[in-house]
Structure 1
Amino acid sequence: METRESEPSTRDRILIAAATMVSEDPGTRLSVRAVAARAGVSTGSLRHFFPTQRALMDEVAAGITGLVANKNDIEDTTVPAEGRLLACMQQVLSATGTGEQARDTWRRTFGTYLSSELNADAIDTYNALSAAGLRHIEHWLDVLEEEGALPPGDNAQRAAYLNVVLDGLSVARALPADAARIRSETDVLQHTISLLFHTAAPMPAGGSD
């Protein structure tokens, strides 16, 4: 007997439509009317699930980030903690691609956020995507710290550090490089992760005699 796959829920249709609009134009304005029209739902239905434009943008950003790096991978305790963090960071980098794909990614990024006058919608989109990415990385670190694998520390600060490393390596993927430089990417990630796991966190101010 032939079975039909279940149709996406109204909420999912809205998120898919909004994410598609952002992927097509990162500086697009996710207005209620435009997203509702793209999703084929009423504006009232959209506002039922997402009362504000910010709520919609935050959810879309979290969804896009989740597609790039699966949160479940960091919780797979059959893999050593440092190996899990390495795999998660490599997933993020893989979304950039290499060579021409990476150059196209960065051309679109620069075209949206650097080479033209920024509008409020582009700024909101960038901030939402950036914040979602940092929350994702911080989640990885929280999981590892709760396991006792990662020494206690400021995971928000650590996440910002890892994000800078990922940004740098992502740009490097777009530049002409020989095989040795590409292989060194893993070495950089492993060294960065090792610093987190094997460097003692600084003492809080006034915390020692």
Structure 2
Amino acid sequence: MSGNKRSDIVEAAARIASESGIAAVTVRAVAARAGCGLGTLRHYFPAQHELIDAILPHLLDQQLHDDGIDDTDRPRAARLATLMVQFLPPADDQDGDKMLSFWFEMSASALSVDAAPGATRQLAILTTRSHQRVRQWLRELAPERADDVEWLEDTADGLISLCSGLCLEALTPGSPVTLPRARHLLERAADRAF
């Protein structure tokens, strides 16, 4: 444990979610794992949704790796493409299709007219963190442009938007965009990022 009780609680909740899913993140389970009382947990997180909201960026970070970002033997566009394809489902038909369906259902439930506020808030948290990670990668891959806010925002926003559009297109009946084609298109966009 870190010595910072709030951080310990978030870390414990993130571990539970990673091991057993978000539904397993209960106040009692987290308090037990963090080694604190219910009152202490409620002091930092008065509502359950506040605890869930706090762990979402951590869960996304666990899914997104930075592997190869420092591999200067590869062109930086290739390294960016490797990082960005993490936002697409695997090209394997069965797993990829399941992940696409899950992505669409999550997005649709958060964006529908009668969306639960929690779903919309959680999608916003994940979206914000995704944009932060892409900006971080771009700063590392192009340190000479790290202070160019317009380039960072345009490039990160464009790449994330492309990923969302490619996922939607890959789901659309009759579209020529398959998951392998989506990966190819994303790689081409990464080539043009610099």
TM (normalized to structure 1)?
A: 0.66
Q: 2:133 aligns with which of 127, 133, 136?
A: 136
Size of the aligned set, in residue pairs, is 176
Cα displacement (A) at 1:164: 0.3
Instruction: Give the equivalent residue in structure 1 for 2:11.
Output: 12
Cα displacement (A) at 1:16: 3.0
Cα displacement (A) at 1:158: 1.8
Instruction: Give the equivalent residue in structure 2 for 1:200.
Output: none
Structure with bigger RCO (C-alpha 8 Å, 6+ apart): 1
Q: 2:153 aligns with which of 151, 156, 163?
A: 156
1:113–1:122 CA contact under 8 A, matched in 2? yes
> In the aligned structure 2, how far is the partner of 1:162 from the partner of 1:118?
26
1:46 correspondence with 2:45: no
Q: Which amino acid aligns with 2:27?
A: A
Cα displacement (A) at 1:93: 0.8
Which residues in structure 2 correspond to 1:35-114 (within 5 Å)? 35-41=26-32, 42-46=37-41, 50=44, 56-57=51-52, 59-94=54-89, 97-110=95-108, 112-114=109-111
> In the aligned structure 2, how far is the partner of 1:143 from the partner of 1:114?
33
TM-superposition CA deviations, 1:3-55 (whole Å, max 9, x none): xxxxxx7553222345632xx59xxxxxxxx742242433344357x567687
Stretches of structure 1 that go unaligned for 5 or more consecutive residues are 1-8, 26-33, 198-209
Moved more, 176-185 or 79-88: 176-185
TM-superposition CA deviations, 1:44-76 (whole Å, max 9, x none): 44357x567687455422222212321344233
> In the aligned structure 2, how far is the partner of 1:71 from the partner of 1:44?
37
> In the aligned structure 2, how far is the partner of 1:14 from the partner of 1:40?
9
Q: Which has the larger radius of gyration?
A: 1
Which residues in structure 2 correspond to 1:148-187 (within 5 Å)? 148=144, 152=148, 154=150, 155-176=152-173, 181-187=178-184
Q: Which amino acid aligns with 1:37?
A: R
Using a 3 Å threshold, how does the CA distance of structure 1 residues 168 and 179 change in structure 2: closer, same or farther? Answer: closer
> In the aligned structure 1, how far is the partner of 2:155 from the partner of 2:46?
31
Cα displacement (A) at 1:143: 0.6
1:145 correspondence with 2:142: yes
Q: Which amino acid aligns with 2:78?
A: G
CA RMSD for the aligned pairs? Answer: 3.5
Stretches of structure 2 that go unaligned for 5 or more consecutive residues are 1-7
> In the aligned structure 1, how far is the partner of 2:50 from the partner of 2:111?
25
> In the aligned structure 1, how far is the partner of 2:51 from the partner of 2:15?
11
SS of 1:60's partner is: helix
1:93–1:166 CA contact under 8 A, matched in 2? yes
Q: Which amino acid aligns with 2:87?
A: V
Cα displacement (A) at 1:113: 1.3
- Taking only the aligned residue pairs, the percentage that are identical comes to 17
